Amino acid sequence: MSFSLDDLLITPGKPADLKKRDPRETFGFDKDKAPDELEKLNTKLVDLQTRLAAEAGQSLLVVLQGLDASGKDGTIRHVFSGVNPQGCSVTSFGAPERSELAQDYLWRIHRSVPRKGQIGIFNRSHYEDVLVVRVESLRPEKVWRARYRHIREFERMLVEEGTTIVKIFLDVSPEEQLARFTERVEVPEKQWKFRSADLEVHKKYDEYRAAYEEALTETSTDLAPWYAVPADRNWLRNLAVSHILVDTLKKMDPKYPEPQVDAAAIAELKAAKAD
Ligand code: ADP
């Protein structure tokens, strides 16, 4: 069994309709087969990334968003294992610092977009500026609402200048989120992840999901689409994200540049050595 990326795509111009999406969905995939499948996808990802770096003409920006404990860190760890670290950057966006607050909200984002030839992964992003900012009432509605338009236009500019953008929403259920928070309290190796604010965030699950619903609907575009990935099962989540990335990179079709090999010079050197 396999799934089509259309199952995950938030179709531009249509409501995201998150209530129709099930965070526990498996699309008929078999968990036992997932490791092999993931390895195959990983091999493809590594090859495509090598080409992207060699070509050095276009870049890929992967925006990862999701509620707390939706598995953003785990996704990065699994999906990008084996990828050359020199060709990738991960930027995590937390609450803006004073110096960042003194600028417009896209300033810190823009300076972190990947260079040509690179894959840039955003662990949280400018979308926090229409999500947490909305739910926690950090700015008035008039301010965050105008940002949907800024974001669409900003992303259009990036795409037209050679950055491919793919945006992934990790969709975790409230039950699974609570189970993961509980694990953070109970398992000593996970306690470092626990923040008391987690519980407050959990209480606001519905508000966050509603904010996501609107943000995804407003900003999934043909140029920079959103995908909603069911995130209650880690193995399915990793598989789906790998699929999306491999598919996106294939469409980018990065190519090795024309070789500039001077065969005659090499032959001359070899001949000189042999003398
Ligand atoms: P994570 O939860 O992703 O592992 P952190 O514990 O550092 O990482 O949490 C980052 C926090 O920063 C989140 O609570 C997130 O909502 C917040 N944050 C990110 N961007 C913004 C922003 N633009 N404005 C306010 N808060 C933000």
Q: What's the CA-to-centroid distance between 275 and ligand 1, angstroms? A: 66
What is the mean predicted confidence (pLDDT) over 9-19? 97
Q: Which atom of ligand 1 is nearest to the CA of 68?
A: 2
Write the residue with the smallest CA distance to atom 26 of ligand 1: 95
Q: What does the pLDDT look like over 200-257, one tens digit per residue? A: 999 999 999 999 999 999 999 999 999 999 999 999 999 999 999 999 999 999 999 9
Mean pLDDT estimate for the chain: 95
**Is pLDDT at 275 greater than 80 in this prediction?**
no
Q: What does the pLDDT look like over 101-128, one tens digit per residue? A: 999 999 999 999 999 999 999 999 999 9
Ligand 1, CB within 6 Å, residue ranges: 68, 93-96, 124, 128-129, 132-133, 138
Q: What's the CA-to-centroid distance between 199 and ligand 1, angstroms? A: 15
Q: What does the pLDDT look like over 47-64, one tens digit per residue? A: 999 999 999 999 999 999
Q: Report the percentage of the chain scoring pLDDT > 70.
A: 99
The per-residue DSSP string of the chain comes to ----HHHHEE-TTS---GGG--TT--TT--GGGHHHHHHHHHHHHHHHHHHHHHH-S-EEEEEEEESTTS-HHHHHHHHTTTS-GGGEEEEE--SPPHHHHTS-TTHHHHTTSPPTT-EEEEES-GGGGGTHHHHTT-S-HHHHHHHHHHHHHHHHHHHHTTEEEEEEEEE--HHHHHHHHHHHHH-GGGGGG--THHHHHHHTHHHHHHHHHHHHHHH--SSS-EEEEE-SSHHHHHHHHHHHHHHHHHHH---PPPP---HHHHHHHHHHHH-
Q: Which atom of ligand 1 is nearest to the CA of 131?
A: 16
Which residue from 63, 121, 125, 128 has its CB within 8 A of the most atoms of ligand 1, so it is best to mutate? 128
Confidence (pLDDT) at 1: 52
Least confident of 42-46, 92-96, 146-150, 261-265: 261-265
Predicted TM-score of the model (pTM): 0.95
Which residue from 92, 127, 132, 139 has its CB within 8 A of the most atoms of ligand 1, so it is best to mutate? 132
Q: How confident is the model at residue 2 (pLDDT cuts 50, 70, 90)?
A: low
